[in-house]
Amino acid sequence: MKVLVINCGSSSLKYQLIDMENENVLAKGLVERIGIEGSILTHKGKGDKFVLETPMKDHQVAVELVLNALVNKDHGVINDVCEIAAVGHRIVSGGDIYSKSVIVTDEVVENIKECIKLAPLHNPAHIVGINACRTLMPTTPMVVVFDTAFHQTMPEKAYMYALPYEMYTKHSVRRYGAHGTSHKFVSLKAAEMMGKDAKNIKMVTCHLGNGASCSAVVDGKCVDTSMGLTPLEGLVMGTRCGDMDPAIVPYIMKAEGLSPEEMDNLMNKKSGVLGLSGVSSDFRDIEDAAKNGNHRAKLALDVFHYRVRKYIGSYAAAMGGIDCLVFTAGLGENSISSREEICEGLEFLGIKLDKEKNNVRGKAVEVSTEDSRVKIYVIPTNEELMIARDTVELVKNK
Ligand code: AMP
């Protein structure tokens, strides 16, 4: 069974065609600058990379070109579009409507529209992508997989903010979390690596990339996560500030004469390790600058690591213990020094990192010492595969 996974952004579209018999990626690619000048498709299937620069006025044209590339006799990997058994779409927000993936219907599309207020940049693009696929592949089943779904098991005490209750009932203000597909994928994989099913494991999963979040997972279910109503809350990120005193918002707005949009931009785009270091939002650049004696770069890393360490400790307290710690995403999978810094001082929780085993990048491995009470794993995340697995599951049981 071949599944096409689609991830639509406002002007982009990422895709993978996965053969679910062996979970091999047959082809993948990226369409950029949809609807603007310089539209470009980069496709890797059979043979060399294929690049096509041609005007694409909307996502429907982009999906059409993706399907053409998949069946192309030189770089395609299938003979006919009908070989695609199902399509899985990544959706950023399902609000509190969806706690699991579902088959696409008109009602589902309406509900995703309802959640636009919670993901104004992403959900509109997802809907355009779904509609384009439904038009071009009218008989192919489609599934939507929500980034928020995994976090829907959080108890009320974890997802409610201590604001007037009407802010929740009137404006849906609560914690929804993000990166759920990744947290789910690595928590399942970690349980497999521990040789247990997810039951009876208390786990903290750290998705550390340009966007970063931690989740507390008990018995395979998310009980808390660091991102909130939006992905701004929680850890320090590439350009996002994460947790801070909310009174800072009106304080800076007044002091700098900023509008709400400008303040939002400052916290989302100009803060995090970029704002602290003044060097870059890319952790590799910051690590290099810190090695060369740049104080602010070192400070940015220290603040970042300290915040992750605090979340691990607080989640261990929230869960009443911890059995397993997982690092994933760009930094989590690749930064040997960051994993070391984060684990330093957590020995009191039974977390002991083996420095030799930790000398690894981008592989699913255990990196804890023999006598570490807590198993520590590096696990490359694979959101596309998780989406494809959910898609198969739903389509098979239709
Ligand atoms: P992601 O958002 O998951 O793609 O992660 C992107 C982040 O991972 C960027 O800030 C990268 O600098 C960081 N990253 C990727 N590879 C490495 C590496 N080898 N060492 C440190 N950071 C890395």
Rounded Cα distance, 31 and 231, in Å: 24
Mutate which of 331, 341, 379 for ligand 1? The one with the most ligand atoms within 8 Å of its CB, which is 331
Catalytic residue among 19, 147, 264, 390: 147
Closest ligand 1 atom to residue 207 Cα is 3
17 lines ligand 1 (CB under 6 A): no
The answer to whether the beta carbons of residues 69 and 45 sit under 8 Å apart is yes
pLDDT along the chain (398 residues), means of 10: 94 96 97 94 93 94 95 94 97 95 97 92 92 94 97 98 98 96 97 88 97 97 97 96 98 98 96 97 96 98 98 98 98 98 98 98 97 98 97 93
Mutate which of 334, 336, 363, 384 for ligand 1? The one with the most ligand atoms within 8 Å of its CB, which is 334
228 lines ligand 1 (CB under 6 A): no
238 lines ligand 1 (CB under 6 A): yes
> What DSSP letter does each residue of 90-116 carry, written as one string?
EES--TTT-SS-EE--HHHHHHHHHGG
Pairing of strands 375-378, 324-328: parallel
The answer to whether the beta carbons of residues 334 and 313 sit under 8 Å apart is no
Q: Where are the domains positioned within the chain?
A: 2-146, 195-383
Rounded Cα distance, 92 and 181, in Å: 10
Where does residue 281 fall: left (phi above 0), alpha (psi -120 to 50 degrees), or beta otherwise? alpha
Question: Quick check: is 147 catalytic?
Answer: yes
The CATH code of domain 195-383 reads 3.30.420.40
The answer to whether the beta carbons of residues 125 and 10 sit under 8 Å apart is yes
Please state the φ and ψ torsions of residue 25, each to the nearest 5 degrees: -80, 115
Sheet of 212-218: strand order equals 221-225, 212-218, 202-208, 324-328, 375-378, 365-366
Instruction: Say which residue the tokens 């100009």 belong to.
Output: 270
Closest ligand 1 atom to residue 361 Cα is 19
pLDDT at residue 287, as a whole number: 97
pLDDT at residue 263, as a whole number: 98
**Which pTM was predicted?**
0.94
pLDDT at residue 286, as a whole number: 97
Positive or negative CA dihedral for 305, 309, 315, 316? positive
pLDDT at residue 80, as a whole number: 95
282 lines ligand 1 (CB under 6 A): yes
pLDDT at residue 47, as a whole number: 86
The CATH code of domain 2-146 reads 3.30.420.40
Q: Is there a common fold for 2-146 and 195-383?
A: yes
